[in-house]
Amino acid sequence: MLFKFYTILFFCFSLIFCANAQKSDSLGGPAYQQKYQLPIRKALEPIKIDGDLTDAAWRGAAIAKDFAPHWPQDNVPLARQTEVKMTFDERFLYVSAVCFDSSYHIVQTLKRDTRFWDSDAFSVVIDPINQRTNGFLFGVGPTNVQYEDLVTSDNFGDLNWSWDNRWYSATKIFKDHWTVEMAIPFKTLRFDPAKKTWGINFIRNDVKNNQYDTWTFIPVNFNGYDLGWTGGLSWQETPPSVKGNVSIIPYVTGGANHSHLEREPTTSNYNGGLDAKVSITPSMNLDLTINPDFSQVEVDRQVTNLTRFNIFFPERRTFFLENDDLFSTYGAPPFRPFFSRTIGLDANAQPMPILGGARLTGNLSKTLRVGLLNMQTRANDASPAQNFTAFSFNQRVLKRSLVKGYVLNKESFMSADEQKQNPLQRYGRNQGLEFSYSNQQGTINAWTGYHLSQKPTIKGQSAMAQVGVGYFGRKVNFFVDLANIGTNYYADMGFVNRIENFTFVTDPRTGRALRDTVARLGFSQIYSEGSYTFRPINKKVNTHGFETSNFFVWNPNGTLGERLSTLAYSVQFQNTVELSLQIDDNDVRALFPFGFTDSAFPLPVGQYRYRQVNAAYNSDYRKKFIFSGGVRAGGFYNGTLRQFTAEVTYRAQPWGNFTMAFEQNDIKLPEPYGSDRLLLVSPRIEINFSTSVFWTTFLQFNTQRNNFNVNSRLQWRFKPMSDFFLVYTDNYFTDPLFRNKNRGIVFKLNYWLTL
């Protein structure tokens, strides 16, 4: 009944918001491209990419200037100005910029695609299809550190800097300005040569003054790379068509491994494979991989888990991150029907070798975008071979709204005996359909979706439904999301973190745990969040405001399972310092025994009510010494929790970052449920010898996982998109202290060939 009530409420809100949206749709979109136009003409003279803007081709190019303030205030004068020009030839799209500045710049690192928003930089946002749904961002800092990523219309998403491609840039630093020259190959972009207007915008990071400005005016409550606010790049002649766009990236690896736990001798191995990128049409791309290897990927940053459920770790493998918005943006936390980390993992989350795969993504028409993914794994001792298939489509409707759907299939190649022993592992299939509404400027959003799953021998309670609505304004932000997940909903290629409850089989007389197990239980949830932000115009405070959230979970029988209510106040200063204070009120009605300590007696079924207070501080990240820390204290089920976090970084600009992170959780529960002190210590050293040679060492001492991990990685980018990696890993127990588990060293060499 509650779910039906909130569904009706959702549609009422939607009608009100959509009605209001019609009044304000004149902002952004095509109207902006009439106001902000940058004509582009073909270069009649060659351009040398060296940061020197005296080439004759730049002299007659139109100038984009008079940038607008964007963040943290969009109504204050800019400290410094920026001027941009664009031109092209048969192979490249060229961008030049003059960034007026002092002779001192903030450069956090020389490492590519790292800490872009914390550093002085210039970037261009390009929407070649000009549908305000997908585009590209290319950025560069004063020391020629490059950044690039794909941009989507997902309002809740953020740039992850996972997309890589070949392009060229150079910078020069002068006394009162620095210059940028970019050459972006047309083969890198997907576009229709017949389209004479592209979406375009430029972003300037002036970190010293804590100002971010854009060429077109974008209200402060939107991202600077929001495609709904682009200007128009007006082609005076047809852009050149691209032919023969094929890139091949072969690789070789080798290394040695030694396991102390298995008491086996050191083993060595050598391997090879390749990736390929093929442009099927100007707007459709095919990615292929044969025997992929991800040994160079940095290890996960471990966290202390103080919940009763699994923790979500983000995907780090580049092959799966490119164009991942087509597959990974269905649902909303804690529900994602597609999560690429499930590919290449067996039922026990152990890695399986991937034989190969293919991914086809792009636009079939101006409004229809599709994706098709297929991956095949090889059997190992613990799991049979598996095939993963995913299809997705995004159909743009109205102005910035989407109808999207997917079909997923995970198939295990099992023998008849294996199917009898583990029938649920034979296959897992999912389908879903969603509609997401956004008004043109993105202030009003509404979404709804329905999802199904199929498993052998499973019938009923296998659906998931979701509705939500939100308003994202300059001062007021609010959204509410409702979801219902059946007990028998399975997502073999996804992530649903609440449906599986980690629990224990206990002795009914003593309460002592006999063994651990997992109990599946569907649920309904309502999550709402609202905030009010003050934006005073003064020299000290940029923003401050209040935020509140409420999270309710109901069991399938309609009883309350959990409630979490929060109230927070935060303030951001002009010098980038941030302070926050938050109060949490928890009400948990546990249906299964659970535990957080090594005690043989898990916490029993019952109601737990407790409150916590959390205070956090972040220092000025522009300084050489950067500090962040927090304190969390209060109840924890039927006991108490004291949490202390701290992170200190020393930045030796621009070549080094030295960080020490620390987290301590003191859990005290009444007897016989035990107490524990959980430590997580994470030193990190990053040394950049140049913009092409990087060395990073990451240590993680985690008592909760009883693991001390060492990961050290050297990367040499000897040519654009061609790399040599040398990676050393070592794992020890924390108890007994420094007893070795395993260690290994591996190298990887890949080379990018464009045909």
Dist CA 332 CA 700 (whole Å): 30
- The pLDDT assigned to 26 comes to 42
Instruction: Label residue 316 by pLDDT band (50, 70, 90).
Output: confident
- If you search the block for the tokens 């020299």, which residue do you land on? 539
CA 128 from centre of chain: 23
Instruction: Label residue 359 by pLDDT band (50, 70, 90).
Output: very high
- If you search the block for the tokens 């980690």, which residue do you land on? 502
CB 365 within 8 Å of CB 349:
no
Mean pLDDT of 246-260: 92
Q: Which helix (H) or strand (E) holds 609?
A: strand 606-618
- The pLDDT assigned to 157 comes to 58
CB neighbour burial string for 195-208, b if at least 16 within 10 angstroms, e if fewer = bebbbbbbbbbbbe
Indicate if the pLDDT at residue 30 is higher than 80.
no
CB 133 within 8 Å of CB 227:
yes
| pLDDT tens by residue, 664-676 | 999 999 999 999 9
My answer on whether omega of the bond before 282 falls inside 30° of 0, hence cis, is no
Portion of the chain with pLDDT greater than 90, in percent: 70
Amino acid at 389: T
Dist CA 684 CA 693 (whole Å): 17
Dist CA 308 CA 608 (whole Å): 14
Which residues are 695's β-sheet partners? 687, 714
Mean pLDDT of 396-406: 90
Dist CA 712 CA 698 (whole Å): 6
Portion of the chain with pLDDT greater than 70, in percent: 95
CA angle 311, 312, 315 (to 5 degrees): 145
- The pLDDT assigned to 190 comes to 79
- If you search the block for the tokens 């009044």, which residue do you land on? 23
CA angle 711, 643, 576 (to 5 degrees): 75
Mean pLDDT of 185-214: 91
Question: For the chain, how far is it from start to end, CA to CA, in angstroms?
Answer: 61
CA 424 from centre of chain: 31
Closest by CA to 372, choosing from 394, 398, 390, 347, is 390
CB 432 within 8 Å of CB 451:
yes
CB 552 within 8 Å of CB 525:
yes
Dist CA 406 CA 447 (whole Å): 16
Handedness of CA 157, 163, 168, 172 (dihedral sign): positive
- The pLDDT assigned to 8 comes to 47
My answer on whether omega of the bond before 353 falls inside 30° of 0, hence cis, is no
Instruction: Label residue 348 by pLDDT band (50, 70, 90).
Output: low
Indicate if the pLDDT at residue 263 is higher than 50.
yes
Instruction: Label residue 530 by pLDDT band (50, 70, 90).
Output: very high
- If you search the block for the tokens 């025997």, which residue do you land on? 291
- The pLDDT assigned to 349 comes to 62
Indicate if the pLDDT at residue 258 is higher than 60.
yes
| pLDDT tens by residue, 563-591 | 999 999 999 999 999 999 999 999 999 99
652's tokens = 């030796």
Indicate if the pLDDT at residue 663 is higher than 50.
yes
Indicate if the pLDDT at residue 271 is higher than 50.
yes
Mean pLDDT of 159-179: 91
**Three-class DSSP category at 342:** helix
CB 359 within 8 Å of CB 373:
yes
Among 170-179, 640-649, 678-687, 736-745, the minimum mean pLDDT is found in: 736-745
460 Cβ contact list (under 8 Å, min separation 6)? 486, 488
Mean pLDDT of 372-396: 92
Looking at per-residue pLDDT, the higher value among 155 and 262 belongs to 262
CATH architecture of the domain covering 36-235: Sandwich (2.60)
My answer on whether omega of the bond before 654 falls inside 30° of 0, hence cis, is yes
Indicate if the pLDDT at residue 502 is higher than 80.
yes
Amino acid at 74: D
611's tokens = 């409150």
Provide the phi-psi class of 493: left if phi over 0, else alpha when psi is between -120 and 50, else beta.
Answer: alpha
| pLDDT tens by residue, 49-86 | 999 999 999 998 999 999 999 999 999 899 999 999 99
Mean pLDDT of 411-418: 90
Among 265-279, 342-356, 585-599, 638-652, the minimum mean pLDDT is found in: 342-356
Among 12-16, 514-518, 680-684, 721-725, the minimum mean pLDDT is found in: 12-16
Its pTM stands at 0.88
The Cα-based distances of 578 to 594, 616, 618, 619, 623 in angstroms read: 36, 8, 5, 7, 14
Amino acid at 224: G
The neighbour count for residue 335, using CB atoms within 10 Å, is 22
| pLDDT tens by residue, 531-550 | 999 999 877 999 999 999 99
- The pLDDT assigned to 38 comes to 96
- The pLDDT assigned to 381 comes to 78
Mean per-residue pLDDT over the chain, rounded: 90
Beta strands 37-42 and 231-235, pairing class: parallel
- The pLDDT assigned to 14 comes to 46
Dist CA 645 CA 542 (whole Å): 25
CB 229 within 8 Å of CB 222:
yes
- The pLDDT assigned to 364 comes to 87
